[in-house]
Structure 1
Amino acid sequence: MAKAKKLPSGTWRALVYDYTDEDGKRHYESFTASTKKEAELKAAEFAYTKKSKGKNAEMLFKEALDRYCELKSNVLSPSTLRGYRIMARNSYKSLLNYPLKSFTTDLVQSWINEYATDHSPKSVRNAHGLLSAVLDTFAPEINFRSTLPQQIKKDLYVPSDDDIKALLAYFSIKDKDMEIAVYLAAFGTLRRSEVCALTSDDVHDNMISINKAMVKASTGWAVKTTKTISSTRTIEMPQFVIDKLPSTGKLVNLMPDKVTTHFESALKQLDIPSFRFHDLRHYAASIMHAIGVPDQYIMQRGGWSSDRTLKAIYRGTIEEYTKKYNDVTLQHFDKMQHEMQHDS
């Protein structure tokens, strides 16, 4: 037990060994009080808490990050693991050399405040999620509460029927692989990763089995299982789309990054407002919603596990359909007003 010593000021101080840094310097925690007994009690409480914090209390955060990624290497998807390793290198520079025992609400909140100055709210949330997972795994006794930046509502551009027609006409002449890719995304709600992983063996009559995805791993592109359990699905496509598919091999002979570059190039050539290839799923979901397809069937076709994502992102508005339903609404109110005037 640490013994307290009286200071010239009349107060009592007790020192407790804390840790030895990388340079071999020993660090102590200091506890002062008006009485010898009180100072020694504070020191004893610190020593007991330090001892009970667990075997990983001295582990540096950078080591915990590496070990966490190793523990999950055969469980997480290659793209998720790659994202974690990128965050481990770039997102926690001010925290890497802290031992896990040093993590407090103040420390984490200070890091969030600094990180949020030049990163989007989504990036901050993702990095905070990994940090929390690492601490939960190696130091579950640590409790902290964080305030994260407010999410920004995105103003998504949902392509119109005319945009899709223009793209399909362009690719039908310039790039048959991209023509098929657009059909599968805009009419079938497929993700880019799913489009690039499909082969002719996945096509049975008018049905296409979505059971794998091509994602970026540390060693290059790799084919893995679909993003979620609900993403594994079978969708029915129009016969005219099925007729365009090759009878053998891959349905689209492009890697995902090439799909993106070819798509962006076509938008520029056609003078169409910029949007992502993934936004073709927005188009598909929005069209189905606009024509009255129930959410449960939209979710099933698109491979969404809940309607939260569907409602937050994929129920975009398409200008031509907005005008149509606005006209219907205004006509209804005009009719009501006419009837009211007639009755009076």
Structure 2
Amino acid sequence: MASFKKRPNGTWQATIYVGRDSNGKQLFKYVTCDSLKEAKSKAREIEQEIEEGRFVHLDNTRVVAWIEKWMETKTLSPSTRATYKSYIKNHYTPYFGNLKLKQLNEIHIKRFMAEKSKTVSQASVRRMTSVLKTSLADVMKQKSPAKDIKLPKEEKYTPRVPNDKEMETIHNAVRGTRDEPIVLLAAWCGLRRGEIFALRWNDIDWNNGTLRVDEAKSINEDNLYEDKRPKSENGLREVIVPEYLMGLLEDMRKPKKRKRKKKDQEPTNIVEISNNSDHQIFNMRPDSYSSYWAAFVRNKKLPEIRFHDLRHYHASWLYARGIPDQYAAQRLGHDIRVLKTIYQHLGLDRQHEIDNNIRQMYDNQNKKEETRQTSE
């Protein structure tokens, strides 16, 4: 229960017990108001926050401790939670140390950003600062020292998307290996890396030539991959598979005799294949395959693209062939708005094409009218 005292200057001070620190010392929150009624109201608000577990005693709470507590109250994907934990361990804790929220000011945050800019990308500084701003705003509201901090400009990244000729070169490099179906699932079906490595044999409909995408591998805070449903309902989808790729998958499913390798023979790749119907087809961590892919591209002197750019290739392939946006969005597991953003990201935009068609439509109409008037 709060206690109240009238001060010599006529104001009222409320004293609210908020708990004990790590050493067992009692902690109090003091609030000064112009009237007793206002002081009681403020005290009751704080007591309500304490009862509901929402109160944070700024005077004795460390910056890092608050970010940890804030993170636990949020619904985050496993990969996002793992990323935030890495920020705390590798960046916030070394820099802010035992600094308390009441001591934190704008200069601390600006120096943090400047320091991080020396060792990580601007994109990383932007993400770390964004998390910091959001967490501080939740506890300090308008008094947050980060409220006027501007995030670094977002670096515009344009993917290196292979054209059809380059894609043919890439396909020829993996043809006949266990990498071929993995590459084609991205380039011909538009699957994400995590979706490919979460595929099970029972996701494939052999009669209709389709595969079901209902899971994706995502890294968690323990640096382990776990299967999860896609972020949105758009990610749950059924994808038509080209006949050639269905044939590859069918051949993979058939049990094969293992050939004994020569002592110094280099493996064609590092993917383990499972033949059990309810097991994942490709037994491998997605990040390991990305590292393998980068080395493979270098060694084979292929066009320097990320594995994810194979999915971008499929998006550009659909666009170039005039596939309706709704169909393309469903196939890629997006909604229309996200698809439009990706098209712009890839430098694909039908706006200019549509504008020209409209101009030509009116020009053609005017020419027809002029021709009609001349003939009359």
What is the TM-score normalised by the length of structure 1? 0.69
Is 1:307 the counterpart of 2:311? The answer is no
Q: Hey, what's the Cα distance between the residues in 2 that align with 1:308 and 1:65?
A: 35
Q: Hey, what's the Cα distance between the residues in 2 that align with 1:188 and 1:199?
A: 16
Secondary structure at 1:148's aligned position in 2?
coil
Please tell me the residue identity of whatever aligns with 2:85. R
Q: Hey, what's the Cα distance between the residues in 2 that align with 1:265 and 1:117?
A: 27
The counterpart of 2:280, out of the listed 236, 247, 250, is 250
Note closer, same or farther for the CA distance 1:316–1:274 as it changes in structure 2 (3 Å cut).
Answer: farther
Name 1:240's counterpart in structure 2.
Answer: 244
Q: Hey, what's the Cα distance between the residues in 2 that align with 1:107 and 1:3?
A: 37
Post-superposition Cα deviations, 1:123-147, rounded to whole Å, max 9, x if no partner, equal: 1221122213322443345341221
Equivalent residues of 2:82, 2:223 under 8 A apart:
no
Name 1:68's counterpart in structure 2.
Answer: 70
Is 1:201 the counterpart of 2:202? The answer is yes
Name 1:29's counterpart in structure 2.
Answer: none
Structure 2: any 5+ residue segments left out of the alignment? 1-5, 10-20, 24-32, 34-41, 50-54, 254-276, 354-359, 361-376
Post-superposition Cα deviations, 1:190-222, rounded to whole Å, max 9, x if no partner, equal: 111110000111112322111111122215222
Q: CA deviation at 1:179?
A: 0.9
Equivalent residues of 2:161, 2:313 under 8 A apart:
yes
Equivalent residues of 1:200, 1:251 under 8 A apart:
yes
Q: Hey, what's the Cα distance between the residues in 1 that align with 2:185 and 2:76?
A: 27
Equivalent residues of 1:213, 1:227 under 8 A apart:
no
Secondary structure at 2:225's aligned position in 1?
strand
Note closer, same or farther for the CA distance 1:121–1:265 as it changes in structure 2 (3 Å cut).
Answer: closer
Please tell me the residue identity of whatever aligns with 1:310. I
Post-superposition Cα deviations, 1:27-57, rounded to whole Å, max 9, x if no partner, equal: xxxxxxxxxxxxxx9xxxxxxxx99998422
Q: Hey, what's the Cα distance between the residues in 2 that align with 1:124 and 1:219?
A: 22
Please tell me the residue identity of whatever aligns with 2:328. I
Equivalent residues of 2:174, 2:180 under 8 A apart:
yes
Secondary structure at 2:95's aligned position in 1?
coil
Post-superposition Cα deviations, 1:57-101, rounded to whole Å, max 9, x if no partner, equal: 2321111122233334xx422211111110111222333433223
1:163-202 equivalent positions in 2, closer than 5 A: 163-173=166-176, 175-176=177-178, 178-202=179-203
Is 1:116 the counterpart of 2:120? The answer is no
Structure 1: any 5+ residue segments left out of the alignment? 5-20, 24-40, 42-49, 318-324, 326-331, 333-344
1:215-234 equivalent positions in 2, closer than 5 A: 215-217=218-220, 218-234=222-238
Note closer, same or farther for the CA distance 1:311–1:142 as it changes in structure 2 (3 Å cut).
Answer: farther
Equivalent residues of 1:281, 1:314 under 8 A apart:
no
Please tell me the residue identity of whatever aligns with 2:291. T
Percentage of pairs with the same residue: 26
Secondary structure at 2:175's aligned position in 1?
helix
Equivalent residues of 2:170, 2:302 under 8 A apart:
no
Name 2:101's counterpart in structure 1.
Answer: 100
Note closer, same or farther for the CA distance 1:88–1:201 as it changes in structure 2 (3 Å cut).
Answer: same
Q: Hey, what's the Cα distance between the residues in 1 that align with 2:7 and 2:157?
A: 57
Q: Hey, what's the Cα distance between the residues in 1 that align with 2:239 and 2:204?
A: 10
Equivalent residues of 1:299, 1:310 under 8 A apart:
no
Range 93-102 or range 232-241, more displaced? 93-102
Note closer, same or farther for the CA distance 1:169–1:70 as it changes in structure 2 (3 Å cut).
Answer: same
Q: Hey, what's the Cα distance between the residues in 1 that align with 2:214 and 2:190?
A: 14
Name 2:296's counterpart in structure 1.
Answer: 266
Equivalent residues of 1:208, 1:234 under 8 A apart:
yes
Q: Hey, what's the Cα distance between the residues in 1 that align with 2:343 and 2:175?
A: 33
Name 2:156's counterpart in structure 1.
Answer: 153
What is the TM-score normalised by the length of structure 2? 0.64
Note closer, same or farther for the CA distance 1:228–1:132 as it changes in structure 2 (3 Å cut).
Answer: farther
Q: Hey, what's the Cα distance between the residues in 2 that align with 1:296 and 1:120?
A: 35
Q: Hey, what's the Cα distance between the residues in 1 that align with 2:166 and 2:209?
A: 25
Q: CA deviation at 1:3?
A: 9.0
Q: Hey, what's the Cα distance between the residues in 1 that align with 2:296 and 2:197?
A: 18
Note closer, same or farther for the CA distance 1:117–1:296 as it changes in structure 2 (3 Å cut).
Answer: farther
Note closer, same or farther for the CA distance 1:62–1:231 as it changes in structure 2 (3 Å cut).
Answer: same
Post-superposition Cα deviations, 1:113-167, rounded to whole Å, max 9, x if no partner, equal: 4433443232122112221332244334534122122222224211122332223
Note closer, same or farther for the CA distance 1:117–1:148 as it changes in structure 2 (3 Å cut).
Answer: farther
Q: Hey, what's the Cα distance between the residues in 2 that align with 1:145 and 1:311?
A: 33
